């Protein structure tokens, strides 16, 4: 875990999103980080130092001119005795102070004295975020090397307002902090990858569709694992209920034909990992109107037609990626079917798994796979899907390196 043992100085400023900082503290601590909180006077109007201190299990720093705090830790040490300074939420006012080098309270003074990476999670009304002064301040801060996460688009806490300005979700802030502090190897830096994930929905009519039980967990985890090794990843996701992975560009689609179009439009890339459980067939002519049940009439027949084969298209494309990895979800003769698929689809590697209902793999959180390539077959043990993703990303990096020279 990248955050294990890391010391984070969390500066909370006075925005309505300060309530989310309480959850953020929990998420950071869950991952092994130590959180030292610092609150502006504004922040204390929204959440109490008591709640923040209790969750952080540390003293809450609030006052620049506190005799005890100055003797004990001091504002300069606060700025230095950490691995990362995280400002969440960051108000327009605090960013303005940072951009102009003001130091009239503890937060702004510590930020001016900062010798460690600073990650800012802005949160404000969309009009404030779009204001010319805020745009100038953000540009200045980016030029000064300050890193940003968010803000996100959506509903504001104040009713009736929507737009860009919501603070990034705590888990996205955690992921950004992890990326910033991750000093692990980046064998895929400079490489591009496309990953598909989830099921497809093939419409019967505007309200009904044909689907499958894929959850997207494995594909999403692979996208995140490739990004963690430095790749620039586009994830093309069918309809799923899990969140988009952080650090990855996610494109949402419904149907196989849409998925194919997005994948092809992103070529050329170095790596393609086709994990999505793409429907083999779609309804030949889906109805534009809801099909009505007519009393006394037989049920309508569902005439199916073949969907595009995305893996095969990518495997034989003129812009074929240097490494093409396919998934084979089988319920029998897993290895044999996987080998046949490798040849038929023009893939370099097939990750084959047994998705018989008793394995609980489809839609579950664990996976047991066989890696089939022209070099042979490797049987991996039963692992959480995240662990399969990490192992696969490492194998992809190694194979790509051997193939084109990393």
Ligand X SMILES: Cc1cc2nc3c(=O)[nH]c(=O)nc-3n(C[C@H](O)[C@H](O)[C@H](O)COP(=O)(O)O)c2cc1C
The answer to whether 37 contacts ligand X (rule: CB under 6 A) is no
Cβ pair 101, 112 in contact under 8 A: yes
Please report how close the Cβ of residue 163 comes to ligand X at its closest, in angstroms. Answer: 13
Q: How many residues of this chain interact with ligand X, rule: CB under 6 A?
A: 15
Distance, CA of 398 to CA of 401 (rounded, Å): 5
Please report how close the Cβ of residue 12 comes to ligand X at its closest, in angstroms. Answer: 8
The binder of ligand X chosen from 3, 6, 9, 15 (CB under 6 A)? 15
**How many degrees, rounded to 5, is the angle at CA 94 between CA 92 and CA 96?**
70
DSSP string covering 199-255: B--EESSSS-EE-----SHHHHHHHHHHHHTT-EEEEEE-S-SSPPPTTSEEEE--S
Any known ligand binding at 327? yes
Cβ pair 24, 90 in contact under 8 A: no
Query: How many C-beta neighbours within 10 Å does residue 132 have?
Result: 7
Nearer to ligand X, 94 or 180 (CB): 94
* Of 120-128, 189-197, 273-281, 338-346: span binding ligand X (CB under 6 A): 120-128
Residues paired with 208 in a beta bridge: none
Please report how close the Cβ of residue 91 comes to ligand X at its closest, in angstroms. Answer: 3
* Of 10-18, 321-329, 372-380, 397-405: span binding ligand X (CB under 6 A): 10-18
Any known ligand binding at 370? no
Cβ pair 131, 94 in contact under 8 A: no
The answer to whether 43 contacts ligand X (rule: CB under 6 A) is yes
The binder of ligand X chosen from 2, 6, 11, 13 (CB under 6 A)? 13
* CA 68 and chain centroid, separation: 42
Is 353 one of the catalytic residues? no
Catalytic entry in 137, 212, 353, 367? 212
Any known ligand binding at 290? yes
Q: Which residues contact 350 (CB under 8 A, 6 or more apart)?
A: 325, 326, 327, 328, 338, 339, 341, 342, 371, 372, 373
Any known ligand binding at 185? no
**How many degrees, rounded to 5, is the angle at CA 40 between CA 74 and CA 100?**
85
Nearer to ligand X, 124 or 371 (CB): 124
* Token code pair at residue 334: 């897993």
Nearer to ligand X, 28 or 121 (CB): 121
* Of 38-46, 198-206, 212-220, 344-352: span binding ligand X (CB under 6 A): 38-46
The binder of ligand X chosen from 2, 21, 40, 214 (CB under 6 A)? 40
Cβ pair 27, 170 in contact under 8 A: yes
Any known ligand binding at 308? yes
Any known ligand binding at 142? no
The answer to whether 42 contacts ligand X (rule: CB under 6 A) is yes
Any known ligand binding at 148? no
Site for ligand X in 76-105 (CB under 6 A): 91-94
Give the interface with ligand X as residue ranges (CB under 6 A): 13-17, 40, 42-43, 91-94, 123-124, 128
Q: Which of the residues are catalytic?
A: 212
Known binding-site residue numbers for CTP: 280, 290, 308-311, 327, 341, 345
């Amino acid at each position: 875990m990248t955050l294990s043992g890391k010391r984070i100085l969390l500066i909370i400023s006075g925005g309505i999103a300060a309530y989310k900082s309480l959850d953020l503290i929990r998420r950071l601590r869950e991952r092994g980080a130590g959180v030292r909180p610092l609150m502006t006077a504004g922040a204390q109007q929204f959440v109490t130092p008591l709640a923040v201190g209790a969750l952080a299990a540390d003293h809450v720093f609030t006052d620049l001119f506190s005799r005890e705090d100055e003797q004990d830790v001091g504002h300069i040490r606060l700025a230095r005795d950490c691995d990362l300074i995280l400002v969440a939420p960051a108000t327009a006012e605090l960013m303005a102070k940072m951009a102009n080098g003001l130091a009239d309270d503890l937060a702004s003074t510590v930020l001016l004295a900062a010798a460690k990476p600073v990650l800012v999670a802005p949160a404000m009304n969309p009009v404030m975020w779009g204001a010319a002064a805020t745009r100038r301040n953000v540009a200045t801060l980016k030029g000064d090397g300050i890193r940003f996460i968010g803000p996100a688009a959506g509903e504001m806490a104040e009713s009736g307002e929507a737009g860009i300005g919501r603070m990034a979700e705590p888990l996205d802030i955690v992921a950004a902090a992890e990326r910033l502090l991750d000093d692990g190897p980046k064998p895929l830096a400079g490489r591009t990858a496309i990953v598909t994930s989830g099921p497809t929905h093939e419409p019967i009519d505007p309200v009904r569709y044909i689907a499958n039980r894929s959850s997207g967990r494995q594909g999403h985890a692979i996208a995140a694992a490739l990004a963690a090794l430095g790749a620039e990843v586009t994830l093309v996701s069918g309809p799923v209920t899990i969140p988009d992975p952080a650090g990855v560009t996610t494109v949402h689609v419904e149907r196989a034909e849409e998925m194919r179009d997005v994948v092809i439009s992103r070529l050329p890339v170095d790596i393609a990992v086709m994990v999505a459980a793409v429907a083999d067939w779609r309804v030949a002519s889906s109805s534009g109107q809801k099909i009505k049940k007519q009393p006394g009439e037989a049920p309508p027949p569902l005439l199916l037609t073949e969907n595009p084969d995305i893996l095969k298209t990518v495997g034989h494309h003129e812009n074929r990626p240097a490494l093409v990895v396919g998934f084979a979800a089988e319920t029998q003769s897993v290895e044999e079917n996987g080998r046949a698929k490798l040849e038929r689809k023009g893939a370099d590697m097939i990750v084959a798994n047994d998705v018989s209902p008793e394995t609980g793999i489809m839609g579950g959180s664990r996976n047991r796979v066989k890696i089939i390539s022209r070099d042979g077959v490797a049987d991996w043990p039963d692992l959480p899907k995240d662990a399969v993703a990490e192992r696969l990303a490492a194998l992809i990096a190694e194979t790509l390196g051997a193939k084109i020279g990393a």
